[in-house]
A and B are shown apart, each in its own frame.
Chain A
Amino acid sequence: MTANVVSSALPLQAILVSALLPLVLVALGRVPNWREGASLLAGCLKLWLVVKMLPAVRDGQLLEYVLAEPVAGVPLVLRVDGMGLLFALVASSLWIVTTVYAIGYMRGAKEKSQTRFFVFFAFSLSATLGVAFSGNLLTLYVFYELLSMATYPLVTHHQDANARAGGRKYLTYLLATSVGFVLPAMIFCYVRSGGQMDFAAAGFMAGKVNSTEALVLLLMFTFGFAKAGVMPFHGWLPGAMVAPTPVSALLHAVAVVKVGVFCVLRVFTGVLGVDMLKEFDLGIVVSFIAGFTIIVSSLIALSQDNLKRRLAFSTVGQLSYIILGASMLSPLALKGAMAHIAMHAFGKITLFFCAGAIYVATGKKYISHMTGIGYRMPITMICFLIGTMSVMGLPPTGGLISKWHLLLGAPESGRWWLMLFLAGSTLLNGAYLLPIVYSAFFKSGNYFGPDSERGEPPPACFWPLCLTAVASIVLFFAPNLIFQLASLVV
């Protein structure tokens, strides 16, 4: 990378804000209003710190902070580049929104152990930012594992049999793949590259492995970062839907899963290097895996009646869009893939917020029970429609912009037919999401109908989802910042 490296403590501070927040939360545990106030304050502080990094990064600087050097030659280092900052911006801005939403949801649904919930939520955000800011593979792995650990108590929040099964699945998938695939692959890289693991523009492994080794490493990383949900290692995500909805919304539509694809993107761009993968023509292998995941997960989503599970399978498919974009190895598609991290985040979090709002307001979880719900909560369902459009990639939502780049990337990579995956999936997205909206507004069911009394969810649940829905539309008109940051890396 030609960019000049500047030493700065900002990335560390941004991470520490939410890592130290739990101390305050535990101290204020008895006074919920103050506790939540502290959460919000920390959220704003964090966003401010992240935004403060923006000007320098836009000028092409890299902000660096060395934490420690546990392994010879491989320090734990935070280094902020365009892609990392883009992800950090998305995560930290949505954290504030989700905190507001979580207050409404957790109180509305009368969840227990709310202090523990907010404590681990803050930890998760720290780990997410840590991944975003990681300057080398080791740091990435450290924060990746921390994220798994920090989210486990959130997934299993209800502490019942379902939570136990979901939590078990969660850890089994995530730990088995990270320890079984990523760790050996990473150490192989360490040994082979002579102790050099910094992400480099051409990939630090470029020229150090032959094509077979590169293929094995690529597959080990792609499957190993199972948070990316590439089939057949996607099973944890629907299982993790036992968590309270704010967790599903922020973590399993934004933070955790995006950390997975972010790691895969880093492997493509920083570890193995786009040029080397092109030389060995390995992108196509991952393209097929991702394409398969896109189509199959959409088909599975069609058959799900639990709304959150349907959204989960939709997420699995959307994540593979990003992986597919990366595997096209073309600059346009890579930009599209990075932008899709942001665009999909806003669209999908809206959908999850709506699902949670419906649950808090009416206690309904199943799509078949939601027929006619548009009469009861029209604005919520309109936001749901906006989220749907964004996930499908229809104008005027941000989803179109990123999908557009992904589509254009296919011919640029010389394989125009990869577009078919995207096109087919768009139709399927419509097929499993639009009927929900249609039946909400134009049919009447057992529970809701034209004569239902109008009642939107509690304000703390309601306003966040409106906000994210509006943001999805705004991103259609103003995607500049996202692409500016994305093009810093490509």
Chain B
Amino acid sequence: MTLAQQAPALILLFPFFGALLTLLIGLYRRSWCWPATVAACAASALAAWSTVVQVAESSNALVTYRMAGWVPPVGIEFRVDALNAGVVFMIAMVSLLVAIFSRTVVINETAGKEHFFYTLFQMLIVGVLGIGLTGDAFNLYVFLEISSLSSYALIAMGRGRAAFSCFNYIMMGTIGASFYLLGVGYLYIKTGSLNMVDISRIMHEQDLFQTSTIHIGFLFILIGVWIKMAFFPLHRWLPNAYTFAPTATSALAAPIMTKVSIYVMIRYMYTVFDPNFVFGMGPRSDVVVWLAVIAMVVGSFYALAKRKLKMMLAYLVIAEVGYMVGGAWLANKTGLTGAIFHIMADGLMTAALFLSAGAIYYKRKSYNVTALKGMFQKMPFTMGAFALAALSMIGIPPTCGFFSKWYLISAGIEAGHYGFVGGLLFSSLVNAILFFRLLEYAYYGEVETPYVAAGKRGKKKGFREKSGRDEAPLSMLVPMWSASLGLVLLGFYSGEVIAFISRYVAEVQF
């Protein structure tokens, strides 16, 4: 076996051993933790790219990898097809960008705990990548817990109400994971298998779709992942958890954790179960789409009402979840394509936004929107990246946000679901108001001198006033601009990406 054939496993193994190594290195010299993390993430991203290439080149768009050579369904199998190859690559890339970005903020916010932070940071990446890669329902649960546990710890390292909001998240997250586990348990009772493809095969062969056990199992899994992705009305845990988390944590968790849950939902809906079963039961899909519409509208509105930049972005994550869930539940190919494409597009957009917001916080020590005043003068490059990401969120071509919206809207029209179309357009317009309000602050506002960062006791720790231009360090600008330019590139090459996704979508029988 050549190294390239090991790529699916290597995606995971690099950050996994990186995490162990980082902990040890950190005991010796803490400043080496960052390079080690970046190296692990870069290697992982490289392996992910190699996997994508293999999937694209294989005749049936499928690459499987058997852990330790055990034959499935007994052994654990990694299955990478056109659905999750792109998602995994997006996750690996975003992780790499956030890892590069984190250099100064981690030293700043979690001083003395860098090695713990980076260890958990990589474990979170391992968990999320594992969810994306695995073809085993129970193994997925294990990775779900790995990612959740490390994210709990990472969030609790934050400031202010981080501990409390993290506790809230732990409760909800545990409930979600339990639902998922119960659902898998029900499937196991009926089919005796844990391998996803095997479960699907047995359910088809024995015609188990009409049994109530399977129904309940599906419902439990669905509720589990809905909690994990913060789908309305199960979204309450998310805004606080992401707002009070350290900068690097929220920049990592926001783009990848909710997106991977959406991937899991799609995987269960279309690979494990099949559309006839999912949509064959009366009005249920319509209810979900309407919930998605509410999620978009409510998420956007809450975002508009907030005064804190990070809180706004957190609520936008909730709105975007509505886009993807709605697209996946419209029950047509265009909608599914749009939803899968939007997983990647939105991952990158959210990363770009959280990164630039993080850079602004790093310099201004405040997330308050008023801290943005005059930022186009002070941090022109950071604001440029932010503006580009904002345009993508609004859906201005040629950024990728426009093209995912294109597919989602045409799916809505195809399905005759004009509520969804209206909701999308409405949410785009609310996004426009939201972001241009922020950009107005940054463009018209005068820089306050002396600037007082909003802290409890007057001046915030670590803030130093600088006159004139005060741009973020290069280690922040590079990942930020990579993400923002990536949005435009993804927009231009969306044709190729969509063609790739279609290889999965084409096989789905609606």
Q: Which residues of A contact B (CB under 8 A)?
A: 67-72, 75-76, 141-142, 145-146, 149, 153, 156, 159-160, 163-164, 167-168, 171, 175-176, 179-180, 183-184, 187-188, 190-191
Residue B492 at the chain A interface, CB threshold 8 Å: yes
* Pair A71/B403 contact, Cβ less than 8 Å: yes
A191 touching B498 in the complex, CB below 8 Å, given contacts A70-B398, A164-B440:
no
Closest B residue by C-beta to A180: B425
13 additional contacts (CB under 8 A) given A70-B403, A168-B440: A70-B498, A71-B407, A142-B397, A142-B398, A156-B444, A159-B443, A163-B444, A167-B440, A179-B432, A183-B395, A183-B425, A187-B413, A191-B413
* Pair A146/B414 contact, Cβ less than 8 Å: no
* Pair B492/A70 contact, Cβ less than 8 Å: yes
Q: How far is the CA of A142 from the CA of B403 in the complex (A)?
A: 11
Closest A residue by C-beta to B436: A171
Closest B residue by C-beta to A71: B406
Q: Which one of B440, B491, B495 contacts A69 once the chains associate, using CB atoms below 8 Å?
A: B495
Contacts of B398 in A (CB 8 A): 70, 76, 142, 146
* Pair A68/B493 contact, Cβ less than 8 Å: yes
Q: Which 3 A-B pairs have the closest CB atoms?
A: A142-B397, A69-B495, A70-B494
Q: Classify the secondary structure of A's interface with B.
A: helix
Q: Which one of B391, B405, B421, B495 contacts A70 once the chains associate, using CB atoms below 8 Å?
A: B495
A187 touching B391 in the complex, CB below 8 Å, given contacts A141-B397, A146-B397, A179-B432:
no
* Pair A183/B409 contact, Cβ less than 8 Å: yes
| Chain B: minimal CB distance from A193 (Å) | 11
Contacts of B391 in A (CB 8 A): 149
Give the total of B residues in contact with A, Cβ under 8 Å. Answer: 32
Contacts of B428 in A (CB 8 A): 179
* Pair B491/A145 contact, Cβ less than 8 Å: no
* Pair A164/B444 contact, Cβ less than 8 Å: yes
* Between-chain CB contacts (< 8 Å), 25 pairs: A68-B493, A69-B495, A70-B494, A70-B495, A71-B403, A72-B499, A75-B495, A142-B398, A145-B397, A146-B397, A146-B398, A149-B396, A153-B443, A160-B444, A179-B395, A179-B428, A180-B425, A183-B405, A184-B409, A184-B421, A188-B413, A190-B406, A190-B410, A191-B410, A191-B414
Closest A residue by C-beta to B337: A72
Contacts of B414 in A (CB 8 A): 191
Contacts of B395 in A (CB 8 A): 179, 183
A71 touching B494 in the complex, CB below 8 Å, given contacts A168-B440, A190-B410:
yes
Contacts of A180 in B (CB 8 A): 425, 429
Q: Which residues of B contact A (CB under 8 A)?
A: 391, 394-398, 402-403, 405-407, 409-410, 413-414, 421, 425, 428-429, 432, 436, 440, 443-444, 491-495, 498-499, 502
* Pair B397/A175 contact, Cβ less than 8 Å: no
| Chain A: minimal CB distance from B63 (Å) | 25
Closest A residue by C-beta to B494: A70
* Pair A187/B410 contact, Cβ less than 8 Å: yes
Q: How far is the CA of A142 from the CA of B399 in the complex (A)?
A: 10
Closest A residue by C-beta to B432: A175
Q: How far is the CA of A156 from the CA of B376 in the complex (A)?
A: 14
* Pair A71/B425 contact, Cβ less than 8 Å: no
Q: How far is the CA of A278 from the CA of B423 in the complex (A)?
A: 35
* Pair A179/B429 contact, Cβ less than 8 Å: yes
| Chain A: minimal CB distance from B172 (Å) | 34
| Chain B: minimal CB distance from A328 (Å) | 32
* Pair B413/A171 contact, Cβ less than 8 Å: no
Q: How far is the CA of A183 from the CA of B403 in the complex (A)?
A: 11
Contacts of A191 in B (CB 8 A): 410, 413-414
Contacts of B394 in A (CB 8 A): 175, 179
A71 touching B495 in the complex, CB below 8 Å, given contacts A149-B391, A156-B443:
yes
* Pair B421/A145 contact, Cβ less than 8 Å: no
Q: How far is the CA of A71 from the CA of B499 in the complex (A)?
A: 9
* Pair B406/A187 contact, Cβ less than 8 Å: yes
Contacts of A190 in B (CB 8 A): 406, 410
* Pair B410/A72 contact, Cβ less than 8 Å: no
* Pair A159/B444 contact, Cβ less than 8 Å: yes
| Chain B: minimal CB distance from A490 (Å) | 30
Q: How far is the CA of A171 from the CA of B421 in the complex (A)?
A: 22
Closest B residue by C-beta to A171: B436
Closest A residue by C-beta to B498: A72
Contacts of B407 in A (CB 8 A): 71
* Pair A171/B432 contact, Cβ less than 8 Å: yes
Closest A residue by C-beta to B407: A71
Closest B residue by C-beta to A142: B397
Contacts of A188 in B (CB 8 A): 413
Contacts of B495 in A (CB 8 A): 68-72, 75
Contacts of A67 in B (CB 8 A): 492
| Chain A: minimal CB distance from B212 (Å) | 38
| Chain A: minimal CB distance from B384 (Å) | 12
| Chain B: minimal CB distance from A158 (Å) | 10
| Chain B: minimal CB distance from A115 (Å) | 12
Closest A residue by C-beta to B431: A179
| Chain A: minimal CB distance from B498 (Å) | 7
Closest A residue by C-beta to B492: A68
Contacts of A175 in B (CB 8 A): 394, 429, 432
Most A CB contacts (10 A, CB to CB) among B402, B421, B494, B502 go to B402
Closest A residue by C-beta to B391: A149
Q: How far is the CA of A190 from the CA of B444 in the complex (A)?
A: 39
Q: How far is the CA of A439 from the CA of B437 in the complex (A)?
A: 44
Contacts of B502 in A (CB 8 A): 72
Contacts of A145 in B (CB 8 A): 396-397, 402
Q: How far is the CA of A112 from the CA of B406 in the complex (A)?
A: 39
| Chain B: minimal CB distance from A57 (Å) | 26
Closest B residue by C-beta to A139: B397
Q: How far is the CA of A153 from the CA of B414 in the complex (A)?
A: 38
Closest B residue by C-beta to A148: B396
Contacts of A141 in B (CB 8 A): 397
Closest A residue by C-beta to B446: A159
Closest B residue by C-beta to A164: B444
Contacts of B432 in A (CB 8 A): 171, 175-176, 179
Q: How far is the CA of A168 from the CA of B443 in the complex (A)?
A: 12
Contacts of A159 in B (CB 8 A): 443-444
Q: How far is the CA of A143 from the CA of B492 in the complex (A)?
A: 13
Q: How far is the CA of A163 from the CA of B445 in the complex (A)?
A: 12
Q: How far is the CA of A75 from the CA of B414 in the complex (A)?
A: 21
Q: How far is the CA of A153 from the CA of B502 in the complex (A)?
A: 39
